[in-house]
Structure 1
Amino acid sequence: MKNKEILYLVIPCYNEQEVLHETTSRLTEKLNNMINQEQISPDSKILYVNDGSKDNTWKIIEELNASNPLIQGLNLARNRGHQNALLAGLMTAKEHADMVISMDADLQDDINVVDEFVKKYYEGNDIVYGVRSARKKDTFFKKFTAQGFYKLMLMMGVDLVYNHADYRLMSKRSLENLESFKEVNLFLRGIVPQIGYQSTIVEYERNERFAGESKYPLKKMLAFATDGITSFSIKPIRMITTIGILIFLASICMALWSIIQHFRGVTTAGWTSLIVSIWAIGGLQILAVGIVGEYVGKVYLESKHRPRYIIEKYLK
């Protein structure tokens, strides 16, 4: 069994001033216990990534870095979103660590399973996914929308680990391969399974947020789902083609029916059916243009090859 390999905990932060001290206290205790038990190297660290926070998040990270030898800080030049901030932390940590665990700052991810993550890594797994065992603490609406999100993604052909967010362990070599994925519109939950190294899962029960507000309201979750689908699946475009074919076949049937009715001498007003048809076909056309536009827009953004993040400062 491997011993004393370097572990980094990468934690993206956006307006997390309410939780940082408590998060640091608990994670420091956890890492020190693992170091004392010789599960990980004394060179292991906690890396906070400040994603353009508008509160005192970065100031607190600086203070923690000055007072706690386990704490490192990465400050992005501007807000780039959770996925880009996470990637910035992962790519920075891979230069120093043998294994990296990503988690949220709000203490919802159960830090008690970090030992199990590391154990699975030593057993030969390059990627260990944290998977929620249940959603007992979620509201009905949260549970319904979250499960709907995963089912929709799977239906659209996106390769996801069910009930897994971004709580995972990745080995150094899996992170080196993650770096080769160059897309600007990041959806790490879909990218990581494509790496293909040996992987496993660890189940845990997600806690309630320690303090502050959720950074993923419904609006952001819908945008996140759209990014995931359009980044990994062309099924929506194929659905447009299928709907177009069905409407064309329906129009042929309607034309034949109209001809038959004409020769039978049957006349009807037809105003309602005409208006409904116009609205339905018009709506489908606008929807189709919008879906195609999502893909065209992504191609446009990817073609610019702009940096996914810019690091302003790294506190070691």
Structure 2
Amino acid sequence: MTQAPFLSIVAPCHNEEEGLREFCRRAAAAAQSVAGDAFELILVDDGSSDATWEIILDLAAKVPQVLGVRLLRNHGHQLASTAGLSASRGERVLLIDADLQDPPELLLMMMPIMERGADVVYGQRTRREGETWFKLASASLFYRALTRLASVTIPRDTGDFRLMRRRVVDILLAMPERDRFIRGMVSWIGGRQVALPYERDPRFAGTTKYPLRKMINFALDAITSFSTTPLRIATWLGMISAGVAVALLVYTFIRWLQGETVTGWSSIMAAVSVFSAIQLICIGIIGEYLGRLVQESKKRPMFMIETILRGSEQTELPAAFSEMSAGDKRAAVDAALASDKPSRPQKNGRIG
């Protein structure tokens, strides 16, 4: 069995060929500052269509600490992050995006906070450079809505950038849901969680991988994963609609008893349109929850790993890897990384 590192850095990558080398250089430098050579840098290729995997191959051949994980297809940011966490073996695990908007150097500030007893140290954005006004406004609206709707307290203006203890990661991996919202799941776990305020940088290179469609789907996943409030809103809308309808019927009946005929085709059609819209909204809300129940009931694997890479050696993991317990996952990764071949010289792994 290979010796487990002290620190694991997990970075999901999707079409990050332009900035991946710079990310690895900075992340490795930060890791060496706090852990020496006792770290691993896990790069998860989430079905990239550019040269991301080829760059990971090159980096792994040069730096002993680089571990490449290639998914069979694009699974999305949350599941790619989960795949990387599943392959991690460190006692401290840093989850970070590879676009360099979250500075890897903040690890040097996170580690002392954790050594003072924190279970999770998460980055909290005080400023976001390089973002459009629409992205800033929609993100602000999302976090404030989530704060009001969620059944757990999820800190505002935070992403998935965080340092976690191994026990937190193991609990996170034991959660079976497929529609994952990692920052909310970590908040649900509890323990001592400490914020580290920072200013978020603009992307080092490339373009955002979160267009409007993905942002909306992500928001729906977050809200339906941590709140049943939308269902209660649908119930109240139905009750209010029923009350208004009864009031209109009573009003119409009284006018009829008085010998008057209630006219107004336009007002009737407007009322029908409003009630129909409310019904469709309620059906849509219920459909979101039912759709997630259907997906969970299928019990398909969360993600599918094509290969795991260290150096120039690529190894397949068991098909049921994503469904294993956290301990079995670490054992499977250890077995995959074990080799009878002579190890490469452990030189100071510089990335250039």
TM-score (norm 1): 0.92
Match of 2:340 in 1: none
- In the alignment, the residues of structure 2 paired with residue 158 and residue 41 of structure 1 have an alpha-carbon distance, to the nearest angstrom, of 40
Query: Deviation at 1:136?
Result: 5.8
* Match 2:66 to one of 52, 57, 71: 71
Does residue 1:46 correspond to 2:41, yes or no?
A: yes
Moved over 6 A (4+): none
Which is further off, 51-60 or 255-264? 255-264
1:9 matched residue in structure 2: 9
Superposition pairs for residues 290-301 of structure 1, below 5 Å? 290-301=284-295
The one-letter amino acid paired with 2:200 is: R
Match of 1:155 in 2: 148
The aligned counterpart of 1:20 is 20
1:303 corresponds in structure 2 to 297
* SS of aligned partner of 1:133: strand
Instruction: Name the CA distance, whole Å, in 1 between partners of 2:128 and 2:66.
Output: 31
- Do the aligned partners of 1:158 and 1:190 also contact (CA within 8 Å) in 2? no
Give ranges in structure 1 of 5+ residues lacking alignment. none
Partner SS, residue 252 of structure 2: helix
Instruction: Tell me, in whole angstroms, the C-alpha distance in 2 between the residues paired with 1:277 and 1:91.
Output: 53
TM-score by length of 2: 0.83
Change in 2 beyond 3 A, CA 1:157/1:314 = same
Q: Which residue of 1 aligns with 2:55?
A: 60
Name the counterpart of 2:203.
Answer: 209
Aligned residue type for 2:69: L
**8 Å contact from structure 2 (residues 118, 194) kept in 1:** yes
Question: 1:41 & 1:136 partners in 2: Cα distance?
Answer: 31
Match of 1:144 in 2: 137
Aligned pair count reads 305
Structure 1: distance between partners of 2:133 and 2:75 = 31
One-letter amino acid matched to 1:252: V
Is the CA contact (8 Å cut-off) linking 1:158 and 1:229 kept in structure 2? Answer: no
Give the SS at the match of 2:70: strand
Q: Closer, same or farther in 2 for the Cα pair 1:135/1:60, shift >3 Å?
A: closer
Q: Is residue 252–residue 262 contact of structure 2 (8 Å, CA) maintained in 1?
A: no
Q: Which runs of 5+ in 2 are unaligned?
A: 311-352
Task: Give the whole-Å Cα distance in 2 for the aligned partners of 1:7 and 1:141.
Answer: 37
Equivalent residue number for residue 119 of structure 1: 112
Pairwise CA distance, 1:41: 4.3
Letter paired with 1:62: L
